[in-house]
Structure 1
């Protein structure tokens, strides 16, 4: 992960570009190990720190504050700990469900029959009494079968083989001799578990959990999941749980907006932009005057949309779209207007792109001491947005055409 970041660090990447690299490249690097083992929490914390540092600073060395689970979900960044549990769960599902798989058959053979015979080969060289062998059968050999007895109903052939192994070891000390079986009554007297009855009883507890403990997350997953398929995404979402929905979700993450605009708008709604008011509170700077109007303290509410420059941008945009919506704060952008559905979505996407344009104009004023013209800023936002609308419309037309030609199950765009 750090080797990839060193290559990217020399390039000037925006927040949106870094977010895309985190989700597509850095997260994919962890996929193999997340499927193989339960990762230590220390390793997960280190990987989260690497991704977090690269997202906010572009390197792996800076120390930045963590992102809450809700905000991670909003940025579509995977929670590695939950993802790890969900992917390893698929391995357990394969072992318990797909009995015809060659790999699963090998697991059953290696970790039941072969494990028992391996233990017996170690003990065979020792001169053990009947009592010692009985103790080993009850304490060691029977415990080897505990996991599989709780997981699945074992085939009768497997149970017969395991009974034969235990019986041979008890009476002869090896696994090769053939001795007569022990009746259920005599097994009970020797306190040897009857594997078939034990298997039914332990699996019955699983069935009881499914039918009674409806509040358990695992039981909810059992009820919702089909036994013929396992969805890592669905299990991951069940583990994560449903977060608190926010009003601006569809406004910020609309498919009609530009990725860089989405990220800046998300930062604005979460009050995470590096405005002067925040920097002054941390004593990074001594003054917090707005670099555009140079009249008031620079806050999120002032930039969007109480500053003279942003008010003029909104006024010109409303004039172009012939609307009288009152837009003075970020929350005002979420209010429904009297436009039609499609025109309203386009206007909301332009507003989201305008947030990015105003922030870019603010940065230009802060660093270059130049304030761009309102007309040029708004016209550029509208032109870029209309290009995005046309591209989106072409993609939708291709999708509809493909559905008509090949049916709903075979189309290009998901």
Structure 2
């Protein structure tokens, strides 16, 4: 725990964006315990503490609990295609890692540890139905416990006769609850989108933003009105789609794009392999990020920027991103359309 907290407090980790924090959690924080996680099942209390530190750091940049998360951590640890952020779930990863020891026993790997286990505990017994004696070590009971949990997986996925056999990756994937893919997955996770914008789009799709209507329900605001227009509750629908302020911005962007501003339904049903669709999705993400950023400025500084200035900001960000993605592999029509957005 101390190592994880020290990594958070050092290396300027607090100043990272949400996208940077996700990268740090996956590549550093969730690997500090990986050595021990491959040897035995880490107690649930310790796993809970690790996940709490990672959760607090992701949402607040600190290992301590200060703010209420926008989205539950169980949702964050889901794969991206089912609505999560792809952060590893520590408990499932631990079970999958110990599963490699189970696989060694199944395949009778040429290892000294396997020979010792076979002579002392298994003694020609069937590994599939084996139960450890009451006086066996705690670590061996852990291996047997993981064997029972993964028993169906070894049978259903044919990990044993497979050329590659069991891997930590396919064990972890099997342990994660299988859920249907969300229809907005490609809208958020494609290579054209600017990473820092995704952490706004993602909670929007799950109704997770702390709008004034939401905060008013739990007693954090005196009223639920949107500060920019001042006459309607600040819901996600009103904030991004119905308010006259955002409508003026979308109308100006439609003129700039030379076509109607895309709706969420159109993007969800569009051809995700189309380069023009990716460009439209990127512009849509920039729009959502800019509106939310202006909303926060209004709340903190009681100042509202003219819609024309926000439109110019969106055009600049989207134009730069589109130009960086344009290349010889695109059709002349797509390249010409992107060049018009500069």
- The one of 150, 156, 175 equivalent to 1:220 is 156
For residues 195-240 of structure 1, give each alpha carbon's deviation from its aligned partner in whole angstroms, at most 9, with x where no partner exists: xxxxxxxxxxx9xxxxxxxx93331122686144432212211111
State the shift of 1:326 in Å: 6.5
Structure 1 residues 254-273: aligned runs within 5 Å: 254-273=190-209
Structure 1 residues 297-316: aligned runs within 5 Å: 297-316=233-252
- Give the distance between the partners of 1:360 and 1:225, measured in 2 at CA: 54
* Equivalent in the alignment of 2:72: 67
Matched, 1:365 2:309: no
Q: C-alpha root-mean-square deviation of aligned residues, in Å?
A: 3.2
- The one of 93, 100, 116 equivalent to 1:110 is 116
Matched, 1:321 2:257: yes
Matched, 1:233 2:239: no
- The one of 215, 235, 260 equivalent to 1:279 is 215
State the shift of 1:28 in Å: 1.9
- Give the distance between the partners of 1:61 and 1:69, measured in 2 at CA: 18
Q: Contact 1:15–1:55 at 8 Å: present in 2 too?
A: yes
For residues 136-170 of structure 1, give each alpha carbon's deviation from its aligned partner in whole angstroms, at most 9, with x where no partner exists: xxxxxxxx334x53249xxxxxxxxxxxxxxxxxx
Change in Cα spacing, 1:324 to 1:394, as seen in structure 2 (3 Å) is closer
- The one of 229, 243, 252 equivalent to 1:293 is 229
- Give the distance between the partners of 1:390 and 1:229, measured in 2 at CA: 44
* Equivalent in the alignment of 1:76: 86
Which structure: larger Rg? 1
Q: Contact 1:333–1:351 at 8 Å: present in 2 too?
A: no
* Equivalent in the alignment of 1:149: 125
- Give the distance between the partners of 2:40 and 2:300, measured in 1 at CA: 49
Structure 1 residues 158-177: aligned runs within 5 Å: none
Gapped regions of structure 2 (runs ≥ 5): 79-83, 129-146, 331-342
Change in Cα spacing, 1:229 to 1:83, as seen in structure 2 (3 Å) is same
Change in Cα spacing, 1:45 to 1:378, as seen in structure 2 (3 Å) is same
Change in Cα spacing, 1:289 to 1:332, as seen in structure 2 (3 Å) is farther
- Give the distance between the partners of 1:76 and 1:2, measured in 2 at CA: 22
State the shift of 1:266 in Å: 0.6
- Give the distance between the partners of 2:283 and 2:159, measured in 1 at CA: 44
State the shift of 1:250 in Å: 0.6
Q: Contact 1:72–1:78 at 8 Å: present in 2 too?
A: yes
Q: Contact 2:250–2:261 at 8 Å: present in 1 too?
A: no
Normalising to structure 2: TM-score of the pair? 0.77
- Give the distance between the partners of 1:364 and 1:260, measured in 2 at CA: 17
Gapped regions of structure 1 (runs ≥ 5): 116-143, 153-205, 207-214, 398-414
* Equivalent in the alignment of 2:142: none
Change in Cα spacing, 1:302 to 1:318, as seen in structure 2 (3 Å) is same
Normalising to structure 1: TM-score of the pair? 0.64
State the shift of 1:9 in Å: 7.4
- Give the distance between the partners of 1:13 and 1:317, measured in 2 at CA: 30
The worse-fitting range, judged by mean Cα deviation, of 216-225 and 277-286 is 216-225
- Give the distance between the partners of 1:227 and 1:94, measured in 2 at CA: 15
- The one of 23, 30, 34 equivalent to 2:33 is 30
Matched length: 300
In structure 2, the residue corresponding to 1:149 is in which secondary structure? coil
* Equivalent in the alignment of 1:39: 42
In structure 1, the residue corresponding to 2:125 is in which secondary structure? helix
Higher helix proportion: 1
- The one of 275, 279, 299 equivalent to 1:342 is 275
Q: Contact 1:97–1:227 at 8 Å: present in 2 too?
A: no
In structure 2, the residue corresponding to 1:222 is in which secondary structure? coil
Change in Cα spacing, 1:368 to 1:79, as seen in structure 2 (3 Å) is same
